Amino acid sequence: MRTGLGMPADEIGKVFREWNKTELESFLIEITADILEFKDPAGGFLVDQIKDTAGQKGTGKWTAIESVELGMPVTLIGESVFARCLSALKEERVSAAQQLKGPENPFSGNKEEFIEAIRKALYASKIVSYAQGYMMFREAAKERNWGQLNYGGIALMWRGGCIIRSAFLGKIKEAFDTNPNLVNLLLDDFFKTAMDDCNGAWRQVVSQGCLLGVPLPTFSTALAFYDGYRQPNLPANLLQAQRDYFGAHTYERLDAPGKFVHTNWTGRGGNVASTTYST
């Protein structure tokens, strides 16, 4: 909204305040409105006087590391950590801004309609983030023999007092109350309907961000995950062939499930396969 639509801080704050009356109601939306409307005693808005280099205590980094260890694609938290790392490169960014070219055309659509599209994109991305978190919980429980976690109870715990508390945590509880063995939050009827409703707007925002040269790291990675998750076939078959070509890591044939084989792709590499394999 600031970079693409040229909106001042207080106008964006009013948008967040309205969003907090919708399904986006949450602690972070609420405080963001307060921050954006807070005036600097020296004039203007305080947020505009804060250096754009984000700090971090390590919680996001620990989560990203744990997700990789578990083999779970918790992409939004990972991308959020990397965005903070990029923000810390302030001097490099200032220099790069003078040298690297990007789009220069201003936004030309309907402003109010696009703001509503941003709201839907945020909602969809937020749902994906929670879905990824629960995927990580499920895999951790499996790997560490924790048994059946009370996933609905976890949602209520967050709602009771946490920076990620939000109105739709109750819907998460309902989803797991209805089906304690729910494989993924995205497959619950309520969240499937929500994602269907947001789909077009979400894609519009991500594509418009690209056209305007505005980075949207979490919106775009959430959409990429969503599209990847709903694909019955991904190009990982080519990746497996490449791994077998350069490292003899073997691959599993579709016509022989559970059997891993190596191909001598060049006729010169021999038939010895790698001794380790991890799926």
Q: Please, are residues 115 and 205 in contact by the beta-carbon 8 Å criterion?
A: no
- Per-residue pLDDT tens digits for 2-29: 999 999 999 999 999 999 999 999 889 9
CA atoms within 13 A on the CB side of 202: 25
Query: pLDDT by residue (tens digit) across 98-114?
Result: 999 999 889 999 999 99
Q: What integer pLDDT is reported at residue 261 of this predicted model?
A: 93
* Residue 275 clears pLDDT 90, i.e. is over it: no
The pLDDT-based confidence of 57 (bands split at 50, 70, 90) is confident
The pTM score is: 0.92
**What crossing angle do the helices spanning 169-178 and 151-160 adopt, rounded to 10°?**
160
Strand-strand pairing, 260-261 and 251-252: antiparallel
pLDDT reported for residue 161: 64
Distances (CA, A) of 262 to 125, 222, 240, 247, 275: 39, 34, 10, 10, 11
